[in-house]
Amino acid sequence: MIRDPETFEALLDSVRRFVRERLVPAENEVAETDEIPPAIVQEMREMGLFGLTIPEAYGGLELTMEEEVRLLFELCKTSPAFRSVIGTTVGIGSQGILMDGTEEQKAQYLPRLATGELSASFALTEPDAGSDAASLRTTALREGDHYVVNGTKRYITNAPHSKIFTLMARTDPSNKGAGGVSAFIVDANSPGISLGKIDKKMGQKGAHTCDVIFDNVRVPAENLIGGKEGQGFKTAMKVLDKGRIHVAAVCVGVAQRMLDDALRYAVERKQFGQAIGEFQLVQALLADSKAELYAAECMVLDAARRRDDGLNVTLEASCAKMFASEACGRVADRAVQVFGGAGYLAEYGIERFYRDVRLFRLYEGTTQIQQLIIGRALVKQARG
Ligand code: COS
């Protein structure tokens, strides 16, 4: 759903300009320094990018899901680390509060998340609980008007920069399954929280993850999301339904950039007396990428529109995330192939994208988890 086409087009134009004039020229610097320049982060705040998904009543832009994915198609035609700066705040870090938080929790946190004054991370994964998220072991045990949290969260995106965590922890240790899990908003400065070393990753330099260790951290009971125990796993799953459409849109944006770069190279690079783009075998690489990209874009838009229509999109979100992330990997591989030997060299940039996009098939649910969700939903539908 596009609410006001004129205003939205103006926003898209400013994002396109920002990507072209500020982000693309900074790609190499970010890859070398492993840091997003603070001036760029500040510009993102000023453009309202941290508040894309937060309702206008709380100071955000309140984009519909269709608007959000179309904006991501543009914002992600550059190194995906730039999107990661806002990713957890507009997505998995804030959506639990928005979807299931109490009125007081929304009023307290959403306005500062929208301006980017606060940034948020989503703390679900643990050393022994990744795909099997419901088996998490971090505990939050009630003591008077507080919960006392103990445990370790792993691979937490943006944790080194976040001011709050949306934390999933077990409030009922006698229930080892999903029903024993609750969600909390935790101030990152709380005594007892420490961070592990920043992880060294295959790609996405500039986007940081690390362990978050909770050692007898006291969290006020009023920070229990929605004020109800046992709802945290469902909150996390709802957040991930939306997050998977978001990631699928990111894949479309980055894939478009890689195809654009491969095309430019194919037109410029000459062999056997002509541009390599004139050769049908090179055209086949480009054509397969274009067709897959078009399919991914259509899936993402359809899933987004269904969500805007209030439908349950668990199945469609997983389809879109699985297809778009796998297609993005294939587009990356073909782009390197079009570049030939140059594709293997850092100075041409395409090998960096090849490494960066590998993550999309892993986070917010691996491809195998998406298959499991889709398969289960189909069998459930068939049973009626
Ligand atoms: N929306 C709302 N509720 C949901 C839901 C969804 N999308 N998915 C599951 N639930 C509910 C179920 O309805 C069930 O509730 P009841 O007990 O009241 O029936 C509860 O949550 C447990 O669901 P289920 O039994 O399906 O849980 P499983 O332990 O079998 O796990 C998967 C389901 C595998 C889908 C889940 O663990 C998952 O998504 N894993 C991947 C985690 C992930 O993406 N990690 C990435 C880290 S975040 S970057």
Share of the chain above pLDDT 70, in %: 100
How many angstroms separate the CA atoms of 326 and 70, rounded?
20
In tens, the pLDDT along 339-377 reads 999 999 999 999 999 999 999 999 999 999 999 999 999
pLDDT for res 250: 98
How many angstroms separate the CA atoms of 349 and 278, rounded?
23
**Which of 165, 234, 318 to probe ligand 1 with, by most ligand atoms within 8 A of CB?**
234
Average pLDDT, the chain: 97
Kindly tell me the sign of the dihedral angle through the C-alpha atoms of 351, 319, 13, 266: positive
Kindly tell me the sign of the dihedral angle through the C-alpha atoms of 167, 170, 172, 178: positive
With tokens 């939306």, the residue in question is 242
As a whole number of Å, the CA-based R_g of the chain is: 21
Tokens of 191: 């005594």
- The minimum-distance atom of ligand 1 relative to the CA of 233 is 21
In tens, the pLDDT along 308-330 reads 999 999 999 999 999 999 999 99
pLDDT for res 29: 97
As for ligand 1, residues whose beta carbon falls within 6 Å of it are: 122, 124-125, 131-134, 178-179, 233-234, 237-238, 240-241, 314, 363-365, 369, 372-373
Q: Are strands 146-157 and 181-187 parallel, antiparallel or unpaired?
A: unpaired
Bridge partners of 167, per DSSP, are 123, 184
Residue 149 per-residue DSSP state: E
How many angstroms separate the CA atoms of 304 and 218, rounded?
38
CB 328 within 8 A of CB 357: yes
pLDDT band at 123 (very low <50, low <70, confident <90, very high): very high
Nearest partner of 333 among 348, 349, 355, judged by Cα = 355
**Which of 233, 239, 325 to probe ligand 1 with, by most ligand atoms within 8 A of CB?**
233
364 as an active site residue: the answer is yes
In tens, the pLDDT along 56-92 reads 999 999 999 999 999 999 999 999 999 999 999 998 8
pLDDT band at 1 (very low <50, low <70, confident <90, very high): confident
2 pLDDT above the threshold of 90: no
How many angstroms separate the CA atoms of 299 and 91, rounded?
19
Q: How far away, in angstroms, is 317 Cα from ligand 1 center?
A: 13
- The minimum-distance atom of ligand 1 relative to the CA of 133 is 37
CB 151 within 8 A of CB 214: yes
**Which of 135, 172, 204, 237 to probe ligand 1 with, by most ligand atoms within 8 A of CB?**
237
5-115, what's its fold? Butyryl-Coa Dehydrogenase, subunit A; domain 1 (1.10.540)
Using alpha carbons only, give the angle 142, 243, 103 rounded to the nearest 5 degrees.
50
Residue 36 per-residue DSSP state: -
- The minimum-distance atom of ligand 1 relative to the CA of 177 is 29
CB 305 within 8 A of CB 66: yes
3 pLDDT above the threshold of 90: no
Q: What mean pLDDT comes out for the span 205-218?
A: 98
Would you state the CATH architecture of domain 120-230?
Answer: Beta Barrel (2.40)
Residue nearest to atom 8 of ligand 1 (CA): 237
Q: For the chain, which residues make up each domain, given as ranges?
A: 5-115, 120-230, 234-383
Bridge partners of 181, per DSSP, are 170
Report the 10 Å Cβ neighbour count for 13. Answer: 11
Chain Cα centroid distance, residue 221: 29
DSSP, collapsed to helix, strand or coil, labels residue 78 as: coil
Tokens of 347: 């100075």
Residue 132 per-residue DSSP state: S
Nearest partner of 356 among 5, 113, 27, judged by Cα = 27
CB 119 within 8 A of CB 93: yes
Nearest partner of 49 among 6, 78, 84, 98, judged by Cα = 84
Residue nearest to atom 13 of ligand 1 (CA): 234
CATH classification number, 234-383, choose in 1.20.140.10, 1.10.3720.10, 1.20.1090.10, 1.10.240.10: 1.20.140.10
pLDDT for res 146: 98
264 pLDDT above the threshold of 90: yes
Bridge partners of 148, per DSSP, are 141, 218
Q: What mean pLDDT comes out for the span 257-275?
A: 98
